[in-house]
Amino acid sequence: MKILICFGTRPEAIKMAPLVKRCKENQAVETLVCVTAQHREMLDQVLDFFQIIPDIDLNLMQANQTLNQLSARIISTIDEVLLKEQPDWVLVHGDTTTSSMVALAAFHRGIRVGHVEAGLRTYNKYSPFPEEINRQLTGRIANAHFAPTQKAYDCLINEGVKKEECIITGNTVVDALQWGLNITKHNEPKELEQILNKIEIGQKIILVTGHRRENFGDGFIQLCKALAQLAKRSDVEILYPVHLNPNVKDVVQQGLGNLPNIHLIAPVSYPVMIGLLKACDLIISDSGGIQEEAPSLGKMVLVTRATSERMEGIEQGFAELVGTDAPKIISKATQYLDQPKTLSKEQNPYGAGKAAEQILNFLLKK
């Protein structure tokens, strides 16, 4: 069996790395890794960390390219790969432009598609944008659906997916996190030590991330207002790896650049992010992946989005939707800083780190 695993962004690389490892270890499978490099530098950091060498690198990242330009380039370049390699399966992940366009190109060539992290839904086509439609489009094309949770599985079945094409696997992000923790256990990155040395011992650490398109403009302005207010507390230090997109970076630098206990740092590598997640007391983020990683570390997440396709963590108390309303962010952050919530890692709704193994076994049986 020949499998082509395709991804293009840092989050995809993290979540597909355990599956690449499993497939490469199995002698019954010929595995090729193809990256579009939709994100270049951040993607390469993850590939280096997990020691993954792509067999095919399309290197499609260009400054300021539109979604339509990127989509067209992915379809045209991956078509040549599909024609040459003729895989039995193409595996894509989640909700990126890479995933949906590679899936569409494979469909046009009559090649079966496996969708990792399938079935997540908000049913609001503009939130998250463009991820919700990417996910639904890939879901209509896929021949095998690897749902991370029961809720995701139920969404697929309700949409008419055949039960024999769908399986609950847990989320590969837990596999990746466990693998990453094992790698860094005795070899923590020096950059992590340098960042944490800036924090006074005994201070409460708030870790912040943000990148969603739907929060550009007023959303990030409101987030900055909330963080500036929280920074007035004498017991708090805020760590914020700032996304390089000017729609984020410029607003954040202007709103928070001169506050002494807010540390605006460059985007960090995956192993450093693992360390920051372990070290912090509270997370404020619009990231989907962090909503899934945090439960494994017993950390609370305030989700700065209007909707979430990861309601399991919210329903089980690992996260709370706060949107980009500054007063609400301040109120909830204050609540969890003053009265920290005890979270059981064993109740993580996103699985136990066996997702990649289950996905490969499903494909081998097919």
Residue 329 to residue 365: CA distance in whole angstroms: 47
Residue 346's pLDDT is 78
Q: Is residue 48 annotated as a catalytic residue, yes or no?
A: no
Question: Which among 135, 213, 305, 310 is annotated as catalytic?
Answer: 213
Residue 238's pLDDT is 97
Question: Which among 73, 93, 95, 237 is annotated as catalytic?
Answer: 95
Q: Is residue 281 annotated as a catalytic residue, yes or no?
A: no
Question: Which among 109, 112, 211, 233 is annotated as catalytic?
Answer: 211
Residue 61's pLDDT is 87
Which CATH number fits the domain 189-347, given the four candidates 1.25.40.10, 3.40.50.300, 3.40.50.2000, 3.40.50.150?
A: 3.40.50.2000
| pLDDT higher at 306 or 53 | 53
pLDDT at 44 over 80: yes
Question: Which among 115, 243, 305, 310 is annotated as catalytic?
Answer: 243
Question: Which among 39, 40, 93, 131 is annotated as catalytic?
Answer: 131
Question: Which among 12, 117, 237, 309 is annotated as catalytic?
Answer: 117
Residue 278 to residue 260: CA distance in whole angstroms: 23
127-178: pLDDT as tens digits: 889 999 999 999 999 999 999 999 999 999 999 999 999 999 999 999 999 9
pLDDT at 345 over 80: no
Q: Is residue 213 annotated as a catalytic residue, yes or no?
A: yes
Residue 121 to residue 133: CA distance in whole angstroms: 9
80-95: pLDDT as tens digits: 999 999 999 999 999 9
**Cis amide leading into 260 (omega within 30):** no
Residue 309 to residue 152: CA distance in whole angstroms: 9
Q: What is the distance, to the nearest Å, from the Cα of residue 321 to the centroid of all Cα atoms in its chain? A: 17
Rg of the chain over Cα atoms, rounded to whole angstroms, equals 20
Look at residues 136, 142, 122 and name the one whose alpha carbon lies nearest to residue 212.
122
Mean pLDDT of 213-220: 87
pLDDT at 187 over 90: no
Q: Is residue 117 annotated as a catalytic residue, yes or no?
A: yes
3-state secondary structure labels for all residues of the chain: CEEEEEECCHHHHHHHHHHHHHHHHCCCCEEEEEECCCCCHHHHHHHHHCCCCCCEECCCCCCCCCHHHHHHHHHHHHHHHHHHHCCCEEEEECCCHHHHHHHHHHHHCCCEEEEECCCCCCCCCCCCCCHHHHHHHHHHHCCEEEECCHHHHHHHHHCCCCHHHEEECCCHHHHHHHHHHHHHCCCCCHHHHHHHCCCCCCCEEEEEECCCHHHCCHHHHHHHHHHHHHCCCCCEEEEEECCCCHHHHHHHHHHHCCCCCEEEECCCCHHHHHHHHHHCCEEEECCHHHHHHHHHHCCCEEECCCCCCCHHHHHCCCEEECCCCHHHHHHHHHHHHHCCCCCCHHHCCCCCCCHHHHHHHHHHHC
pLDDT at 39 over 80: no
The answer to whether 329 touches 284, Cβ cutoff 8 Å, is yes
Torsion, Cα 117 118 123 127, to 10 degrees, reads 30
Q: Is residue 186 annotated as a catalytic residue, yes or no?
A: no
Every domain of the chain with CATH number 3.40.50.2000 lies at 2-171+351-365, 189-347
Q: Is residue 305 annotated as a catalytic residue, yes or no?
A: no
pLDDT at 215 over 80: yes
Phi, psi dihedrals of residue 82, rounded to the nearest 5°: -65, -40
Look at residues 192, 293, 284 and name the one whose alpha carbon lies nearest to residue 236.
284
Residue 216's pLDDT is 87
CATH topology of domain 2-171+351-365: Rossmann fold (3.40.50)
Tokens of 6: 């395709």
The answer to whether 230 touches 206, Cβ cutoff 8 Å, is yes
